[in-house]
Structure 1
């Protein structure tokens, strides 16, 4: 819900070019097109009030009620209009508007979009590209149908990649079984759709490498292969040199606010575990090493620092999607915990547990 409210106005901006793309459907006297235009106008008028009410809500239930009211006000109107001509371009554009603009998408919307599952058209490609960027759990059946039944390789590739990302979202929500599913879809992307262009400068195969590596080697309970970076002097450094210690690998950047907020706590953590088999390694994603060195001159951060940049073996190779990303490894080099975002108490608990294991083993 938070993601939706933060991108509500973006949905309006995205919907505008889509309307232009299909404006040929607005023939003079087309009553459905006129009615849809009214829905869009009403939606734009409703947005400021919805945002205001959402921010004023004090409980999860109150916020949920605000969003449910928006759905109730617009979803039935859109679906009714679509059902009057469910297979034309205008219907497609209305359904796209619904999945972009509404916070909780009615499953009926995705059922209606199945009319385009077999179509080797720009519409179906646009749909899959959008669902790749903004996964919807309710779209899984639709995407699987497209992957199984559409004959266009590009469309199949985007559907397969979208299914992989959908599975990853389920993993992030605690569904461990979805990890195997994500790996299966990414492997198929790498095998069957690697050369499908994704934007102007890359392909689906290139985009799948990072997530596939992460699933195979960076999941909880797995030992990542040795990885090399460089220290502040430009010398090669390797993760394997820290086996035998509990390692906190903190991937961050000097421009990252949440990362900087952790520095005082990290100072305390390093001091607390000074004489123990423990190492904190901060891996910088700053574009320039000089930026990192200047920051360290001005801030007391007495622990190990590596610079990886934006294209390094860790930042890019490990498919880092958000900062800070923190891995906690045990003395055998096995990943036992992973955190994305600033974390303090949970990180302390993780390190304390792993150090206790070392003590108990003696």
Structure 2
């Protein structure tokens, strides 16, 4: 029964996994169920359909909040300059921004770069990627990425015009998804 329980545990909510762990005998099964609960707590899908705001510090040191972008569809791009798939996706983001216009669409970068110098060099070499960039000094992974369950990059979140999180994997069907929420 414990083996079966653990085989389906990946589909459990955090509360369900904790409840099963509470009734499981001490040992490996309980520990694994608690680990499932911890992963579920960090799963970004738990945030879908709820109001969502990204707040942080811009690369230039100033404060930023996506609240200032209400009325626009917002793509939150978790990325890093050292991440080849992230860099390959940047031209698509720029194309989409130009096609949809800045009255309809905004992009916010959340840089998971460790080194500010590397991020600044990348952005200087690609000055057309001029959307706001959030950066956290002295970290190995941006705290916003950690807080929102981003464990791998690139990762694109989509916030609709009313500030509701609609996708935590917007890269999959980016053009269609953006168009759906712009219309």
TM range (shorter): 0.7 to 0.9
Q: Give deviations 1:238-264, integer Å, cap 9, x for gaps.
A: 222222211000101111111111111
Is the CA contact (8 Å cut-off) linking 1:227 and 1:313 kept in structure 2? Answer: no
3-state DSSP of counterpart to 1:316: helix
User: Does residue 268 of structure 1 match 2:95?
Assistant: yes
Gaps of 5+ in 2: 12-16
User: Does residue 278 of structure 1 match 2:105?
Assistant: yes
- 4+ residue runs over 3 A deviation: 135-140, 143-149, 213-217, 308-313
Distance 1:227 1:157, change over 3 A: farther
Aligned residues: 172
Distance 1:158 1:305, change over 3 A: same
TM-score by length of 1: 0.42
Q: Distance in 2 between matches of 1:212 and 1:159?
A: 14
Q: Which has the higher contact order (CA 8 A, sep 6+)?
A: 2
What is the 5 A alignment of 1:119-268?
136-137=7-8, 148-152=23-27, 155=28, 157-162=30-35, 164=36, 186=37, 208=38, 211-212=40-41, 214=43, 218-219=47-48, 221-224=49-52, 226-268=53-95
TM-score by length of 2: 0.77
What is the CA distance between 1:302 and its match in structure 2? 2.7
Which one has a bigger Cα radius of gyration?
Answer: 1
Q: Distance in 2 between matches of 1:326 and 1:355?
A: 16
Is the CA contact (8 Å cut-off) linking 2:79 and 2:154 kept in structure 1? Answer: yes
Q: Distance in 2 between matches of 1:293 and 1:215?
A: 28
Distance 1:160 1:246, change over 3 A: same
Gaps of 5+ in 1: 1-110, 115-134, 165-185, 187-207, 357-362
Hey, which of these two has a bigger chunk of helix by percent? 1
3-state DSSP of counterpart to 1:326: strand
